[in-house]
Structure 1
């Protein structure tokens, strides 16, 4: 009898059924995860690996990445005891930086460009960092240039591509063509009173000459080629330069704001637009003005009468009437010592906006050549300076001293975008 009851009970025992999540729910959950976790989850099953590689999922994840963990690229400059130099590019959370401005950064050797056969940072876009390198091929200043694409989050890097030979210095800028879904690199220079512009679409690997710039970019006019990256910014499928119209030679103390304009290269059509600066801005400038991107808006910043620093935002890209003054603060309140009369580090005094805190109330600024950044809290007018150092790197060959290049900081997001 007991055996019969036991058999009946055994029959009544049911194993829990396997829970199968709907595909749409899996996609939704995974799209909010960091890249590091997704790379690990590729080994869960073939279907997950296929999903994570899928271009539609990559775009969805990229769309949500800025809201999940906004980053910036922190660039450090390393000078070995032996000849030469190299950079490291470290993605760093903006929120952590805002909360803790005094810390020592231990540089992971992986983020060094020393072993990536590239020496310069072209720019960042959608989680990709474009790198460039050149080498002299003769004693007539002829050079050979090439590029690589690097995704620090997925730890992948492309082979060298985009080879071409050219005379003198070419500067590069990197962006995304929204109309075709292609990434493009623009090579530009100003030589013998003439600009040369070339463009390369990834996948084509062929450089094409396009129309030269209709006005002279400020940083190229001053021959500040090492700072050309901050003289041109990517936004909304376009590259944007602060330029001077129809002026061959000038002293920066003699030029007014009205003589500047924004030159914008539309990457889709590969044609130029020109935008005037705010109409309410007048007077002679002090120092070199610049363009930047803050809070997703194109910005124009300058030093006014050697007393104040001013930032204007173009609230709606391409609409001149949308210029709005974002910030005006005295150098005294910023606790910045400025000298507009003497060249400094081969250029005149220049204060540069870098990025904004997540809530938009704390712009981060720096001066060219300084190893510190300045945080200005708009809500309570509080100014703080970073106390930030990068730890010395020791490799198998030598140890190095390190400098933090704040003026090279750029907004960054982690992504699954392929480098190939």
Structure 2
């Protein structure tokens, strides 16, 4: 295959008679090449970076990376060809694996899993997956170490340590998302004690620094990691210490840094049920245990409109403990209209059309399972002037 430089040289040497026409043809050849490369998987593009300096510059350019990401998301929003499921398994030791989302959804006979090299692999200390956006994954270990990591290009960035006097003695809740208006990836850390918000800090990848921001005014306990939908992070919040009543949804806009309350559906009496938030595509979703053996699945079809909440499904499933339930997760809608979710350590694929449930072949995991879907992308958490030592081989 000819490199871009060779292609350009052949065009120039072969057609000196009409320079203006030559230039147009060279530009057309470049656009055609870009169009082809932007549709290839990440693994192929990583190999093609060594073809020539021109190819390297093109594939590493911010414009190409955004175009490739956009096409990958657009072309795979139904069959999820370029999406993978990352699994954090706690037993017998903390480890990360991943598998193809497409194979999980489509009941392929062989669902291949692979061990991952990751920044915290040499540690026996528990870590959490706090979210995934555009191929970047946020990992948090203890109160000190936060990492943004792209497993597709094996590159990670350790975030600066958040200096706070309250960090060790209070509870930290996180959220990770992308500010499209400012083209910036941001991590939010909320430091609280029970229902008392002490401090909120936000990390900007573009500025590589933390800054304090306004705390939410409503006193509530935020549960789990923030779910990123429509440029905002969303947390389930409760005003009750026993996690039994008073549930609400709190959101934070990454662009204008405003907190607000998102109306939840009227699903039963105010004091009944415990809700867990999720994201299905571009919609906020939630599951609510309305009894010990039933779980309702809801989706907000029009963002911010309370009346648009729709109950999609009721699952008859016995939850062992409240803690197991609180770590349940939503994942995605398939092209067949089914949705994938995890309850405790089991994956379920539910079909609202006939109220059926099926379990993927690769469904049983040990306790301590956390999972996150990510798209394979070229997005790099490092700036151009940062050393490339933060890469995994």
| TM-score w.r.t. length of structure 2 | 0.78
**Which residue in the other structure is 1:150 paired with?**
149
User: Does residue 200 of the first structure (1) align with residue 203 of the second (2)?
Assistant: yes
Task: Give the CA deviation at 1:63.
Answer: 0.7
Match for residue 172 of structure 2 among 170, 173, 176? 170
User: Does residue 269 of the first structure (1) align with residue 256 of the second (2)?
Assistant: yes
**Which residue in the other structure is 2:380 paired with?**
418
Which whole-Å deviations, capped at 9, do the CAs of 1:3-45 have from their partners, x for residues lacking one? xxxxxxxxxxxxxx89976211111111111111111111122
Change in 2 beyond 3 A, CA 1:308/1:248: closer
Kept after mapping to 1: 8 A contact 2:105/2:334: no
**Which protein has the larger Cα radius of gyration, Structure 1 or Structure 2?**
1
Match for residue 278 of structure 2 among 279, 289, 292? 292
Which whole-Å deviations, capped at 9, do the CAs of 1:43-78 have from their partners, x for residues lacking one? 122211111111111111111112232524331324
Task: Give the CA deviation at 1:197.
Answer: 1.5
Match for residue 128 of structure 1 among 107, 132, 136? 136
Task: Give the CA deviation at 1:173.
Answer: 1.8
Task: Give the CA deviation at 1:207.
Answer: 2.1
Distance 1:159 1:376 in 2: 38
The residue correspondences of 1:17-416 to structure 2 (distance < 5 A) are 22-66=29-73, 67-68=75-76, 69-80=81-92, 85-90=93-98, 92-100=99-107, 105-110=112-117, 113-115=120-122, 119-134=127-142, 145-165=144-164, 166-168=167-169, 169-191=171-193, 193-195=195-197, 196-216=199-219, 220=223, 228-229=224-225, 232-244=226-238, 247=239, 249=241, 252=244, 255=245, 259-278=246-265, 280-283=266-269, 287-306=273-292, 308-325=294-311, 327-331=312-316, 336-338=317-319, 344=321, 347=323, 349=325, 352-359=328-335, 361-368=337-344, 370=345, 372-388=346-362, 403=366, 408-416=370-378
Q: SS at the partner of 1:96?
A: helix
Kept after mapping to 1: 8 A contact 2:84/2:374: yes
Task: Give the CA deviation at 1:365.
Answer: 2.4
Aligned Cα root-mean-square deviation (Å): 3.1
Which whole-Å deviations, capped at 9, do the CAs of 1:168-188 have from their partners, x for residues lacking one? 332322111111111111111
Kept after mapping to 1: 8 A contact 2:189/2:201: yes
Change in 2 beyond 3 A, CA 1:362/1:354: same
Distance 2:82 2:50 in 1: 27
Question: After alignment, is 146-155 or 377-386 more displaced?
Answer: 377-386
Count of paired positions: 349
Gaps of 5+ in 2: 1-13, 16-24, 383-393
Distance 1:89 1:161 in 2: 27
Gaps of 5+ in 1: 1-16, 135-142, 221-227, 391-401
Distance 1:250 1:218 in 2: 11
